[in-house]
Each structure stands twice: as C-alpha cells, then as structure tokens.
Amino acid sequence: HIVITFRTDIMTNTAKTFGSKHLKETFVLKGAIIPYKFGTSDGLFNIASALAYVQTMLHGVYIALNGRVFNYDKVIKTGEQEFSRK
C-alpha cells in the first residue's frame, strides 16, 4: 500500500500514468487544496483520509481529497479547488 503526497495541478496526469501500468499495489495520491503556508490547510485531513483509503480499497490507483476518494480514471479537476467524478 502506497500513499503519495502530490501537487493537485498535475495529480490526475500522474495517477493515469500509474494506472496505465496495471500494478498490483494500492496507490492513493493525496494533495491539499489549501497550501500549508495559509495555516488552515486541508492537508492533515487529506493524509488521514488517504491512510484509511489505502488500507481498505482494492488494488488500483486513487485520488483522495476533501474526504472523498476517486478512481484515477474517473476524476477530473473542475476548478482551482475542485475535483469531481467524470
């Protein structure tokens, strides 16, 4: 099981690259919409969520943000601070 902290601007592209490899591990990429330097970052919540998801999901590649988990091939970045299902 692998959790990767990643930049949200290119997270979906990286997740697709991992997904195309058909690996036998569970990968969860996690980011933060609000940067840590602003003091109210969602990063800690997102890492806790990612740690829970990586232990409970089937192997594959996922993105975890804002208490939600997305399959790598069914997510798009819809705005500066939003991800949604395709």
Which residue type, as a one-letter code, is found at position 53?
Answer: Y
36-50: average pLDDT: 85
Query: What is the rounded average pLDDT for all residues in the chain?
Result: 88
pLDDT exceeds 90 at position 1: yes
Who wins on pLDDT, 78 or 63? Answer: 63
43-47, 59-63, 70-74, 81-85: range with lowest mean pLDDT = 81-85
First and final CA of the chain: distance in angstroms? 25
Owner of token pair 């980011």: 31
pLDDT exceeds 80 at position 12: yes
Number of H helices, E strands in the chain: 2, 6
Percent of residues, the chain, with pLDDT higher than 90: 56
Confidence category of residue 17, pLDDT binned at 50, 70, 90: very high
Owner of token pair 């990586």: 54
33-60: average pLDDT: 88
